[in-house]
């Protein structure tokens, strides 16, 4: 059975909504996974070893080494002391950081030492070599700070890379999972749809079979009733056809041949009525035809055609009491299709058929004003 356009549309909409849901889930995940980026960057540039922290200690150390060079140079005393004092002051200004005092034990004594040296140099109370030697301890401290800040920065970068790798992994596996789940949903949906299609098809076929006469392939009594209801308010003609002396035919030829005759008659009635009628087998040797009937004369002409058509076909009947071939008794009535009118129309056609039977068979009658 071809999938109906509506079912296909529904399938696409469901598939689309699943994709959208997966996409949304992925977006939520990305936003969730990215939440660490900004605090991480902030941490990188503020709390741990930072570029600024390292640069300040480096600059301060360079000033102190400059001061040492100036103290040990051969420039005039006055100039050398002034330049060294200036560099020590600059170094003090850079190294006098709260974070250095808090984090490094050597910071406090070094700053005190620089303070003392600056005062001694200003008072010319220390010789140049002693002052240069005294700068080694603060230089060592600043070098230590500088290296430590570098180490901390390296560690922060490593942490940053590691967490980036982990978050990327989470993101990759989650995307894969969502993709697989999308496929699974799609497969489940398709399977359900196929099952529903199959069940619908089976129900449809079962209903079709329930409405068919298995021997002749034409409709049965239920189909006749259903078709009448489907043609509400239309002018219809109902023709009932009964084989004459069918029992004798069966007795003479046997039931299988009787079955063949039933099939042949079903085909003949259809052909005679030019396929304008819907045919039914009501049971046994009784058929019915339902057709459009604008007036009673049309119905009469159909009935006449049936009798003449059978005569022309000339089916043999070896046991016909009147020594004829197979003959039919036909009764008809016209009615406006409705659930309420149909039983009366059926009764009227049946009465007409009965009249034919009682009048010797092989003929037709209609009941007017059913
Ligand atoms: N071969 C065959 N015979 C059937 C079938 N259904 C019913 N019959 C036979 O049809 C015959 C109908 O007999 P009756 O109702 O007496 O009708 P009739 O012999 O045609 O007599 P009248 O209608 O009065 O002319 C019976 O012998 C049934 O056994 C069928 O499916 N196949």
Cα 79 to ligand 1 centroid, rounded to whole Å: 143
Same domain, 34 and 171: yes
Please, are residues 249 and 258 in contact by the beta-carbon 8 Å criterion? yes
pLDDT in tens, 12-52: 667 677 777 777 777 787 777 666 665 655 555 554 445 57
Judge whether residue 171 has pLDDT over 90: no
The answer to the question of residue 296 being in a domain is: yes
Query: How many other β-carbons are positioned within 10 Å of the β-carbon of residue 264?
Result: 14
Q: What is the C-alpha separation between 312 and 224, in angstroms, rounded? A: 28
Pick from 23-27, 144-148, 277-281: least confident: 23-27
Residue for token digits 């003959």? 327
Q: What is the C-alpha separation between 99 and 152, in angstroms, rounded? A: 14
Considering its fold, how many domains does the chain have in total? 2
Q: Which of 265, 285, 362 to mutate to test the pocket of ligand 1 (most atoms within 8 A of CB)?
A: 285
Same domain, 202 and 276: no
The answer to the question of residue 215 being in a domain is: no
The answer to the question of residue 127 being in a domain is: yes
Pick from 64-68, 156-160, 232-236: least confident: 156-160
Judge whether residue 5 has pLDDT over 60: no
Same domain, 58 and 197: yes
Range 260-282 average pLDDT = 93
pLDDT, residue 37, reads 60
pLDDT, residue 339, reads 83
pLDDT, residue 43, reads 59
What three-state secondary structure class fits 283? strand
Cα 257 to ligand 1 centroid, rounded to whole Å: 12
Please, are residues 127 and 116 in contact by the beta-carbon 8 Å criterion? no
- Residue 246 CA: nearest ligand 1 atom is 20
Alpha-carbon dihedral of residues 161, 162, 163, 167, nearest 10 degrees? Answer: 100
Alpha-carbon Rg of the chain, whole angstroms? Answer: 55
Range of the domain at 265: 221-367
Beta bridge partners of residue 363, listed in sequence order: 329
Handedness of CA 4, 6, 9, 15 (dihedral sign): negative
pLDDT, residue 163, reads 80
Same domain, 93 and 171: yes
Same domain, 153 and 61: yes
Range 100-109 average pLDDT = 94
**What is the DSSP code (8-state) at residue 4?**
P
The answer to the question of residue 9 being in a domain is: yes
pLDDT, residue 300, reads 96
Q: What is the pTM of this model?
A: 0.59
pLDDT, residue 370, reads 57
The answer to the question of residue 331 being in a domain is: yes
Same domain, 187 and 247: no
- Residue 261 CA: nearest ligand 1 atom is 1
Backbone dihedral region for residue 232 (phi beyond 0: left; psi -120 to 50: alpha; all else: beta): beta
Cα 205 to ligand 1 centroid, rounded to whole Å: 29
Range 283-290 average pLDDT = 97
Q: Which of 172, 189, 210 is the last residue of a domain?
A: 210
pLDDT, residue 1, reads 43
Same domain, 130 and 168: yes
284 in ligand 1 pocket by Cβ < 6 Å?
A: yes
Cα 228 to ligand 1 centroid, rounded to whole Å: 26
Query: How many other β-carbons are positioned within 10 Å of the β-carbon of residue 173?
Result: 10
The answer to the question of residue 216 being in a domain is: no
Residue for token digits 């003929």? 363
pLDDT, residue 367, reads 93
Give the strand pairing for 235-243 and 286-292: antiparallel
Please, are residues 239 and 332 in contact by the beta-carbon 8 Å criterion? yes
Q: Which of 167, 189, 210 is the last residue of a domain?
A: 210
Range 302-320 average pLDDT = 94
What three-state secondary structure class fits 369? coil
Q: Which of 210, 240, 270 is the last residue of a domain?
A: 210
The answer to the question of residue 271 being in a domain is: yes
Q: Decide which of 144 and 53 is more confident.
A: 144
Q: Order of strands, edge to edge, in the sheet holding 235-243?
A: 278-283, 286-292, 235-243, 328-336, 363-367
Q: Decide which of 222 and 370 is more confident.
A: 222
Same domain, 80 and 182: yes
What average pLDDT is seen over the chain?
Answer: 88
Range 296-305 average pLDDT = 95
Cα–Cα distance list, 159 to 34, 46, 138, 164, 363 (Å): 16, 15, 31, 8, 105
Judge whether residue 351 has pLDDT over 90: yes
63 in ligand 1 pocket by Cβ < 6 Å?
A: no
Same domain, 317 and 172: no
Percent of the chain surpassing pLDDT 70: 90
Same domain, 72 and 37: yes
Pick from 51-55, 125-129, 219-223, 352-356: least confident: 51-55
Judge whether residue 227 has pLDDT over 90: yes
- pLDDT tier at 165, thresholds 50, 70, 90: confident
Same domain, 16 and 88: yes
Alpha-carbon dihedral of residues 195, 197, 202, 206, nearest 10 degrees? Answer: 140
Pick from 169-183, 228-242, 292-306: least confident: 169-183
255 in ligand 1 pocket by Cβ < 6 Å?
A: yes
The answer to the question of residue 121 being in a domain is: yes
Cα 70 to ligand 1 centroid, rounded to whole Å: 138
Same domain, 18 and 130: yes
244 in ligand 1 pocket by Cβ < 6 Å?
A: yes
* CATH number for the domain that contains residue 252: 3.30.70.270
Range 74-86 average pLDDT = 92
- pLDDT tier at 101, thresholds 50, 70, 90: very high
- pLDDT tier at 159, thresholds 50, 70, 90: confident
Range 206-218 average pLDDT = 93
Alpha helices, H only, the chain = 5-34, 37-45, 51-72, 77-95, 98-103, 107-122, 128-134, 136-210, 221-230, 246-253, 255-272, 296-313, 341-358
Cα 82 to ligand 1 centroid, rounded to whole Å: 140
Closest CA to 132 of 76, 87, 100, 90: 87
- Residue 283 CA: nearest ligand 1 atom is 6
Q: Decide which of 189 and 138 is more confident.
A: 138
pLDDT, residue 49, reads 47
Q: 218 CB contacts (<8 Å, ≥6 apart)?
A: 212, 266, 270, 279, 280, 281, 287
What three-state secondary structure class fits 67? helix
């Amino acid at each position: 059975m071809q999938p109906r356009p509506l079912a296909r549309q529904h399938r696409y909409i469901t598939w689309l909504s699943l994709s959208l849901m997966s996409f949304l889930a992925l977006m939520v995940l990305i936003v969730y996974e990215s939440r660490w980026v900004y605090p991480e960057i902030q941490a990188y540039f503020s709390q741990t070893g930072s570029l600024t922290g390292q640069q300040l200690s480096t600059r301060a150390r360079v000033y102190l080494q400059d001061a040492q060079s100036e103290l040990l140079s051969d420039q005039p005393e006055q100039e050398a002391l002034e330049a060294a004092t200036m560099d020590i002051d600059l170094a003090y200004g850079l190294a006098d950081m709260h974070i250095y005092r808090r984090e490094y034990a050597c910071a406090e004594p070094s700053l005190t030492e620089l303070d003392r040296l600056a005062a001694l140099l200003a008072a010319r109370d220390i010789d140049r070599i002693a002052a240069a030697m005294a700068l080694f301890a603060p230089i060592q401290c600043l070098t230590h700070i500088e290296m430590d800040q570098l180490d901390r920065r390296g560690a922060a970068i490593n942490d940053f890379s590691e967490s980036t790798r982990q978050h990327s992994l989470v993101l990759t596996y989650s995307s894969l999972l969502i993709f697989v789940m999308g496929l699974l949903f799609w497969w489940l949906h398709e399977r359900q749809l196929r099952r529903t299609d199959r069940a619908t098809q089976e129900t449809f076929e079962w209903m079709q079979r329930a409405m068919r006469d298995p021997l002749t392939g034409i409709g049965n009594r239920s189909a006749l009733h259903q078709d009448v209801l489907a043609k509400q308010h239309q002018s219809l003609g109902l023709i009932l056809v009964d084989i004459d002396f069918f029992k004798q035919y069966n007795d003479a030829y046997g039931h299988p041949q009787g079955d063949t005759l039933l099939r042949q008659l079903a085909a003949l009635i259809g052909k005679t009525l030019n396929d304008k009628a819907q045919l039914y087998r009501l049971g046994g040797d009784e058929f019915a035809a339902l057709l459009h009937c604008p007036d009673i004369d049309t119905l009469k002409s159909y009935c006449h055609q049936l009798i003449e058509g059978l005569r022309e076909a000339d089916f043999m009947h070896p046991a016909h009491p009147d020594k004829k071939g197979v003959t039919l008794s036909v009764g008809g009535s016209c009615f406006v299709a409705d659930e309420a009118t149909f039983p009366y129309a059926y009764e009227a056609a049946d009465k007409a058929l009965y009249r034919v039977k009682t009048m010797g068979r092989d003929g037709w009658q209609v009941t007017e004003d059913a």
